Structure 1
Amino acid sequence: MVINRKYKNFFSILGKWVISGLIIGIVVGSATTFLLEINDYLGSVREKSGWLIGLLPLGGIILGYIYMNYGKVYFNNTLNDTAELNNLVIDSVHGNKKIPIRLGPIVYFGTFLTVFLGGSTGREGAAVQMGGSVAEAVNRLFKVNLLDTKIYIMSGISAGFGAAFGAPITGAVFGMEMTALGKIKLEAFVPCLVASFVGHFMTTAVWGHKHEEFIIQNVPELSFITFIKVIILAVIFSLLSVLYCQLRHGIQTLSEKLFKKNHMKRAFVGGIIIVVFTLIIGSQDYNGRGLQMLEQSFTGDVPPFAFLAKLVFTAVTLGTGFVGGEAIPLFFMGATLGNTLHIFFDLPISFLAALGLIAVFCGGANTPITAFLLAMEMFDGKGLEYFFIACLVSYIFSGHHGLWPSQQIYEPKSRLYSITNAATIENIEKKKKL
């Protein structure tokens, strides 16, 4: 009788996880397809209408108004600000805050507006936040207990990431790895895996969206010299991720201080700065997602300082209050820097671009397992030994910096760093300044 009760409880919980993963995957996969298709359309319209960049400051005012008037929600006397984006999702996994259901629609509109008017940003951030928003809706609808609430939010993250990049295995792990350094909550694996695969299936098989493809033409043979080169390159890529994170958060801190957290003023001025930078460069290659140059970095030469231009454009765009994802800009920076470095390291261009794409993302997101799996899914398993080493090196050498200050440090990356357990990246940064 006791054994039957145990099995009944086991299959009851497992069934709930699978069904919830299915629901989250179906909704998030469909919503992510809408995001990808509309983003592609708006991006193509902007490329044909260069004058739209002049409206970016006005777009900043509109976006700021929405966040200031409709983006702040109180639960249990705690402010939950949708302008915190992925940080709010991470805080909700840790139980510190709750995700307002309106987060998804607001970030979708904000991403569309930013991309359409020429802000330098990606899209996966919106997919992850919509995933969290949908998961929160499921939690409320079924009155889920506290432990499963956190698990389902991870599932929403997985569904959004897996659907946005066509990488379901990567998405499943990302939902568990994103929130804390040195800890993966494997209990969430079943719903995360179901949600990610279903989200990916909805995006590709049901709605027929085709993801961008980046192909490695040649992989160098395994050799000691090549491994040494890969390690050196990974260190360089990790430092680029640190430079971006520091500049992006520095601009955000400065703009909030100057304008007393007035989102409208911050984004308006940020829009003006991007317009001026665009006029100075005389090209819109670094506005929007920059997919054309990202793809070109795998096949031919790109401007030698393209990675630096994209870094500045993206840091200003997101640091002054515009919204969108940061993965694609990091892909751009890493791939174009890898392309530039091929003359110094005598390695195939496509291999270096791929290595930079993965290593810079790894250093910024602090997700080495996710980054390695992404390389395997994105590049069909080519060069797995090199990518494995590059992810580990980038993860360690990027230190305790990152895209999301709310990431908790469950365990320091290495004894090389004197970091307190259970701190957050934000706390570490504040201590450094003091």
Structure 2
Amino acid sequence: MDFVNNHIKESRLIIAHFIKWFFLSLISGISVGLVITLFLKSLEYVTQTRQIYAWLLYLLPVGGYIISFLYYKYGKDSSKGNNLIIERINNGKGRIPFRMAPLVFLGTVATHLFGGSAGREGTGVQIGASICSELGELLKLDESDKNLIIISGISSGFGVVFGTPISGTVFGLEVTSIGKMRYEAIVPCFVASYIGNSISNILKVHHMNYSMVGVIDDVSIFYKVTLCSILFGITSKVFSELTHILKKYFSYHIRMPYNRSFLGGVIIIVLVFIVNSRIYLGLSLDLLKYSFEIPVNNYDFILKLIFTSITLGSGYQGGEVTPLFVIGATLGNTLSFMIGLPMSFLAGLGMIGVFCGATKTPIASFIMGVELFGSMNMKYLFVACVISYVFAGKSGIYTSQEYNI
């Protein structure tokens, strides 16, 4: 009889826990989904505007100055971005300032309007986490539950930005600690990510489609993919380290953050004149698309890496993931001709591999690869994630991640 009573009691607790977090995550997913949808549509609009009015690039230093001044005046520790969120989650207490959401929203939109080379994932994560932190305060949740709802905001923000709800779920569980998954947040992350994506789909957010050819299961291909994946990992390490070095260099030599951004904007403009191309500005989605279709320049991955590191290192707002996609895909495109594998195949592996090495999220990266490309090359996607993760070493774009290995 005790056995039956214990199982009845356990079942009641499970059902109560699920119902509680289903409704909390429903609120989280709807809130984040609506704001991220507005953000993505704003990015699309300002990108088109910049392409029409080429002179906007010359306002990049002024735009960067204003963005950084606002952060300096009103942002306080919001300037730490994703690392602040990871710190708060790992500490198990504290709140994410709600001012982070409007600041990073406006800052990222301005960065893309004037031509900074940045992404959108970081913004999505920060918006999601800050909104959910505020929800936790309004609903008077305890510290443990606040932590869980913030993690659900990370999952929803990431999943909505890329249209990948499963990898969004796992990203939230995996990103805060290297070598540890936060399974206690699996229901909130799962529900919030799916609800957020449903909202964005209803509101007709369009995501880029990728086509990756399948290859046969062959031992020689396995070794070639392993070799390329080592290079993907090393490239992600170079990107992470260069970005961190530039942040330290600008901070050490230029005291005021708005002056750093002004200088960074000037450097970007000079680089555009030197390379005589604007394809490395903004998200560079055209370059990403070309990587799957036609041969690109052998140096494209290097230039996109440099443009992005300078943009983020000098204090502009935005994420790293889409630039990492571009860096990886262009590198894979280049390697395909050297190693004798299909262009779109290695572009896809490079896109996922470089992302994995820089974010230290091998499981989320692998799942994202399957969500974006299908299961046809699942074996090689897994190889790319594992090998890149290893050869990236301890270097990553999130310096606040706990290391549990």
TM-score normalised according to structure 2 size:
0.97
Q: Is the 8 A contact 1:25 1:198 kept in 2?
A: yes
The aligned runs of 1:276-355 (5 Å cut-off) are: 276-355=270-349
Q: 1:114–1:121: 8 Å Cα contact kept in structure 2?
A: yes
Deviation at 1:381, TM superposition (A): 1.6
CA distance in 1, matches of 2:177, 2:359: 10
1:330 Cα deviation (Å)? 0.2
List gaps (5 residues or longer) in structure 1: 73-80, 412-434
1:91 and 1:97 in contact (8 A); partners too: no
Return 96-105 or 220-229, whichever deviates more: 96-105
Equivalent position to 1:137, from 124, 134, 137: 134
C-alpha distance in 1 between matches for 2:320 and 2:155: 16
Report the Cα distance in structure 1 between the residues aligned to 2:279 and 2:273, rounded to whole angstroms. 12
Which of 153, 158, 174 is the matching residue for 2:150? 153
Q: Spell out the pairing of 1:393-432 with structure 2 (5 A cutoff).
A: 393-411=387-405
1:31-65, CA deviations, whole angstroms, 9 ceiling, x for partnerless residues?
11111111011101101211111100001110111
Aligned residues: 400
CA contact (8 A) 1:162 1:172 kept: yes
Name the CA distance, whole Å, in 2 between partners of 1:271 and 1:220: 43
The Cα of 1:6 is off from its aligned counterpart by 5.0
Q: Give the secondary structure class of the aligned counterpart of 1:94.
A: helix
Q: Distance in 1 between matches of 2:403 and 2:171?
A: 16
| Aligned equivalents of 1:39, 1:49: Cα separation in 2 | 15
> Counterparts of 1:67 and 1:15 in 2: how far apart (Å)?
39
Q: CA contact under 8 A between 1:177 and 1:184: conserved in structure 2?
A: yes
Aligned 1:234-273 pairs, distance under 5 A? 234-260=229-255, 262-273=256-267
Q: State how far apart, in whole Å, the 2-side matches of 1:284 and 1:155 are.
A: 36
Report the residue type matching 2:158 in the other structure.
F
CA distance in structure 2 between the partners assigned to 1:9 and 1:225 by the alignment:
52
Amino acid at match of 1:207: L
Aligned to 1:20: 24
Residues 172-194 of structure 1 show CA distances to partners (whole Å, capped at 9, x for unaligned) of 00001010000001111001000
Q: CA deviation at 1:97?
A: 4.6
CA separation in 1, counterparts of 2:280 and 2:190?
A: 35
Query: What is the Cα deviation at residue 11 of structure 1?
Result: 2.9
After superposition, give the CA deviation of every residue in 1:192-243 in whole Å (9 maximum; x if it has no partner): 0000000110001x20111111111x22201110000000000001000000
Letter in 2 for 1:306: D
Cα separation, 2, equivalents of 1:367 and 1:119 = 26
Given candidates 15, 36, 40, the residue that maps to 1:36 is 40
Partners in 1 of 2:147 and 2:181 — Cα distance?
13
Q: 2:103 aligns with which of 103, 106, 109?
A: 106
Secondary structure at 2:273 match in 1: helix
**Counterpart selection for 2:218 from 213, 220, 223:** 223
Match of 1:196 in 2: 193
Cα distance, 1:9 vs. partner?
Answer: 3.8
Task: Letter of the 2:197 partner, please give it.
Answer: H
Question: What CA distance in whole angstroms lies between the structure 2 residues aligned with 1:270 and 1:382?
Answer: 42
C-alpha displacement of 1:14: 2.1
The answer on whether the counterparts of 1:304 and 1:340 sit within 8 Å (CA) in structure 2 is: yes
Q: Quote the offset at 1:98 in angstroms.
A: 2.6
Contact 1:219 1:351 in 2 (8 A): yes
Query: Offset at 1:5?
Result: 5.6
What is the alpha-carbon distance in structure 2 between the residues aligned to residue 381 and residue 85 of structure 1? 34
* The structure with more helix, counted as a fraction of residues: 2
| Distance in 1 between residues matched to 2:379 and 2:155, nearest whole Å | 25
* Aligned Cα root-mean-square deviation (Å): 1.3
**Equivalent-residue separation in structure 1 for 2:153 and 2:88 (angstroms):** 12
Matched, 1:64 2:68: yes
Q: What is the alpha-carbon distance in structure 2 between the residues aligned to residue 251 and residue 265 of structure 1?
A: 14
2:120 matched residue in structure 1: 123
CA distance in 2 between partners of 1:408 and 1:167 (Å): 25
* Alpha-carbon distance between aligned partners in 2 of 1:145 and 1:9, rounded to the nearest angstrom: 18
- Is contact 1:266-1:320 (8 Å) kept? yes
CA contact under 8 A between 1:20 and 1:138: conserved in structure 2? no
